[in-house]
Amino acid sequence: MKRLAYIDGLKGVCALWVCFFHYILAFYPYGFIGWGSDVPPEKALYVYYNAFPFSVLSNASYPLYIFFALISFIPTYNFFQTRKSVFFHHQIYKRYFRLMPPVLACTLIGYFLWQANWNYNLQLVPLTNSSWVLALIPGNLSLTDALKSGLFMAFINGDGRYNSVLWCMNIILIGSYLTYLFLAVFAKTKGRFAVYLIASFFCFKFPDYTAFLCGILAADFLTHVKLPLTVNTGGLYVAAGFIIGNFPIVVYLPQVPNSLMYGIGALFISIGCFGTVVFQKALSGSILTYFGKISFPLILTHFFVMQTFSFGLFVYLNRLGIPFYWNLVLMTCASLPLLWGAAEIFYRLVEKPTEYLLSLLFSKTRKNHSKA
């Protein structure tokens, strides 16, 4: 099936969104109530609404869950369009080996940067009062431990000590295989609707996987429900997804987890963006699709640029007496080309060779299997 540019475009939007969110947490965490904030549950409502609407930006974990939904959406939509199982069979064989080399490279880079003391987290905290930055500092450093983390611990328990974004690698791997299991067993049957219903109840127990279920639902909906989405209808879906996904749990019932709401928001975003021609064209622009291509490297490497160059430059300019907001502007302008460059280098040296070698290996394996 032909690669859909607008999916890459949405990946690009989410990757840039993640970077923007982390820089806000580091330099202006006003209204942040998430991990590392030290805000007790009973004060979360007050802190959030006292900083509203800026707190929407400082609590933006949502884009990562849109990625989760896309991980399940792509193979499901591919299967429903072509009715060919070779695509997800391919992914079953190579999924871990597709993720492991970039993750391993990431943990090793993180280890060497921390070991060399090239991170400026401690120096930044007094300037921005970001407890999140303080929470990023790992404990004991060990090369053996970093190797274990990159090879399997990140995929078992989401070990993110050497790079915080790796907390979700186990969710990505398990969610991917749950998607492939669904496609192999239920996708061709009408009974899949009962599976959707049963799985929705499990989402309260395992809320991080709601986005994967919603990605499957979005692909099923767009394939089998032939409802033309106008600009207004698609806009309503996107608006609903944005509102649902960007408001923390204090807006909803206390027993409903944040990540469950993120998944539901991703469902609406996916239907609205991928079912409306106007949104498809907007997301298919060359800039967004380019950043979609390097989205994984950008998400993995921006932490390194942020904690070394961006933090260090901000501390240095502060010592020179540069006012806070001018410092923020100068640091941002100087960091942008480095963020792009680091992602591009990582893509060319790690991710692209990994994709090439796995495709070559799978191609040879499939030919040998056909001969046998």
What pLDDT score was predicted for residue 249? Answer: 53
Segment 339-367 mean pLDDT: 86
Q: For residues 193 and 181, is the Cβ–Cβ distance under 8 A?
A: no
The pLDDT tens digits of the residues spanning 332-352 come to 999 999 999 999 999 999 999
Residue 87 has pLDDT above 80, yes or no: no
Q: For residues 2 and 105, is the Cβ–Cβ distance under 8 A?
A: no
Please indicate whether residue 10 or residue 79 has the higher confidence score (pLDDT).
Answer: 10
The pLDDT tens digits of the residues spanning 240-285 come to 999 888 875 555 556 678 899 999 999 999 999 999 999 999 999 9
What is the identity of the amino acid at 370? Answer: S
Q: Give the C-alpha separation, 27 to 216, whole Å.
A: 37
The pLDDT tens digits of the residues spanning 123-143 come to 999 999 999 999 999 888 899
Segment 230-244 mean pLDDT: 91
Could you give the angle at which helices 5-27 and 324-346 cross, rounded to 10 degrees?
140
% of residues, the chain, pLDDT over 70: 92
pTM: 0.92
Q: pLDDT band at residue 370, thresholds of 50, 70 and 90?
A: very low
What pLDDT score was predicted for residue 372? Answer: 43
Segment 96-116 mean pLDDT: 95
What pLDDT score was predicted for residue 50? Answer: 87
Residue 93 has pLDDT above 80, yes or no: no
What pLDDT score was predicted for residue 224? Answer: 86
The pLDDT tens digits of the residues spanning 291-345 come to 999 999 999 999 999 999 999 999 999 999 999 999 999 999 999 999 999 999 9
The pLDDT tens digits of the residues spanning 175-219 come to 999 999 998 888 888 889 999 999 999 999 999 999 999 999 999
Average pLDDT, the chain: 90
